[in-house]
Amino acid sequence: MKRYVPKLINSPLTITLTILIALFVSIWYVDPQSNSLSESKSFELLTDIFQELSLSKSTESHFAQFYQNKTTNPFFFPKIIKSKQSIENLERKIHTIISGYKTRLTTFEEKYVVNVIVTESMKYGFDPLFVLALMRVESSFDHRAVSNKNALGLMQIMPFVGEALATELNIPWEGEATLFNPVTNIKIGTYFLYKLTKRFKYNQKMVLAAYNFGPTALNNQIKAGKDLYIEYPLLVLDKYKKYASMKI
């Protein structure tokens, strides 16, 4: 029995939990203004950390789904992602790109958002760099961005579209503020992109034109025999090509 004690004490899990508990107690101790445990800064910090650990497991789950079942959207899914290590390298690359912009997020929040981008992209079969390129064109990674047409957040979603999609995803809708939450915005935006991908039969330029112009308006353009707006799709695809070839 004794020989297993050192292994348990020195295990990464035990060490991590010890550090977290010490951090938890110390921050709560120096936060006398909090009236309860749930109001303390340590509770908020630990909640974020455990959410991130859970999110990493979710990423691994989606990774396994694509390479075992080969489902959903292979047209966009990157061929370069072949291992957990390649996902970690991809996340590092995405964070390097995002951190070069004024996101109005903390470093910790940026890393969390990077993980969400990868997880939600893989859920629907998108290359995360493809979603990143769209996000760059839409908002330059500013999670508080508002367009002149009142599209909101990282992926610039119109409130009426966001509310409808939030209902489909069982995401609580709290008005426009919901779309300023970067995690929620990404979940809704990637789901919207996925619906457009199926609707327009995996045609990249059509999907991107619909995302920018609106699917109904785009269909009306097609029925009227008018020229399609192709500048936006080309802009996104150019960014995508740049990010895909970038060495970091």
Query: Is-contact 132 237, C-beta < 8 A?
Result: no
What is the 8-class DSSP label of residue 171?
A: P
AA letter at 55: L
Residue 95 and residue 107: Cα distance in Å, rounded? Answer: 9
Q: Give the chain's largest Cα–Cα span.
A: 80
Q: Are the beta carbons of 208 and 84 closer than 8 angstroms?
A: no
> Which one of 91, 110, 120, 138 is the catalytic residue?
138
Could you give the CA distance from residue 180 to residue 172 in angstroms, rounded to a whole number?
13
In 3D space, the residue among 92, 101, 164 whose CA is nearest the CA of residue 128 turns out to be: 92
Distance CA 140, CA 100 (A): 10
Residue 120 a catalytic site member: no
Report how far residue 56's alpha carbon sits from residue 2's, in angstroms, rounded to the nearest whole number: 34
Q: Provide the residue count of the chain.
A: 248
Which residues are annotated as catalytic?
138
